[in-house]
Amino acid sequence: MRAIPDPVQNLIDAFSHLPGIGPKTASRLAFHLLKAPEALSLELAEALEGLKSGTSHCQQCYNITLAGEDICDICASSNRSDETICVVEEPLDVIAIERTGVYQGKYHVLMGVLSPIEGIGPDQIKIFPLLERLKQEPVKEVIIATNPSMEGDATALYLQQRIQPLGIKVSRLARGLPVGGDIEYADQNTLQRALAYRQTMD
């Protein structure tokens, strides 16, 4: 007895392949779309089909840009300083930093992070294109904004060792307590860092 017809099961399976969507959520989404106007499904289908064909990577910073554009808006902008490059792991990190509204420099997206366990070395991510940029652009500071994880820290260290000899300042995002966080619930590592890098009040 087949309780779920194939077209519905296919959609449940396709949703289940997405990160963070388990079989129950996938069913709920599929049955929601069954009840909703067909336009909702078709809008999502169209957006999915246009995703890869409509986008490419900026040839300078490797952020996502429109297909057919060599250089992204941020790289092309004359309002953004050429003297600072913020190095991130993923395009999503650019969006998070842009949302703060306080950063006025350029970016470089590594498209990953060093991870010897997964066999990802400097050749597999966009580290050499970054070093190439540093030779050609008037960069005074590289802000490393990799994730505060083991791989992110290892990547930051590697970058520091390659960039500092070029006479360029290397900095990284501050570690400490998250805003709105609670000392009582902060993990041991975060609290150790917050103590070690305590900031003078003046």
82 is a site residue for its own copies (CB under 8 A): no
Closest alpha carbon to 82 in 60, 67, 57, 52: 60
Nearer to its own copies, 95 or 177 (CB): 95
Whether the Cβ atoms of residue 121 and residue 114 lie closer than 8 Å to each other: yes
Whether the Cβ atoms of residue 106 and residue 84 lie closer than 8 Å to each other: yes
Amino acid at 59: Q
Q: Least CB distance from residue 48 to its own copies, whole Å?
A: 4
Tell me which of 20, 165, 178, 180 binds its own copies, using CB under 8 A: 20
Q: Which stretch binds its own copies (CB under 8 A): 15-23, 125-133, 170-178, 192-200?
A: 15-23
- What beta strand segments (E) does 25-98 contain? 55-57, 64-66, 84-88
Number of residues this chain uses to bind its own copies (CB under 8 A): 60
Tell me which of 22, 47, 150, 192 binds its own copies, using CB under 8 A: 47
Residue 33, token pair as written in the block = 């779309």
Q: Which stretch binds its own copies (CB under 8 A): 33-41, 126-134, 166-174, 191-199?
A: 33-41
81 is a site residue for its own copies (CB under 8 A): no
Closest alpha carbon to 194 in 175, 179, 172: 175
Whether the Cβ atoms of residue 66 and residue 58 lie closer than 8 Å to each other: no
174 is a site residue for its own copies (CB under 8 A): no
Q: Which residues contact 167 (CB under 8 A, 6 or more apart)?
A: none
117 is a site residue for its own copies (CB under 8 A): no
Q: Which residues pair with 88 in a beta bridge?
A: 109
Where is 73: in which H helix or E strand?
helix 73-76
Positions 120 through 159 that interact with its own copies (CB under 8 A): none
What's the angle, vertex CA 160, arms to CA 156 and CA 162, rounded to 5? 120
Closest alpha carbon to 111 in 128, 97, 136, 133: 128
59 is a site residue for its own copies (CB under 8 A): no
Q: Which stretch binds its own copies (CB under 8 A): 48-56, 141-149, 153-161, 166-174?
A: 48-56
118 is a site residue for its own copies (CB under 8 A): no
Tell me which of 88, 94, 109, 127 binds its own copies, using CB under 8 A: 94
Interaction site with its own copies (CB under 8 A): 1-8, 10-11, 13-15, 17-21, 25, 27-35, 38, 40-55, 64-67, 73-74, 77, 79, 90-92, 94-95, 98-99
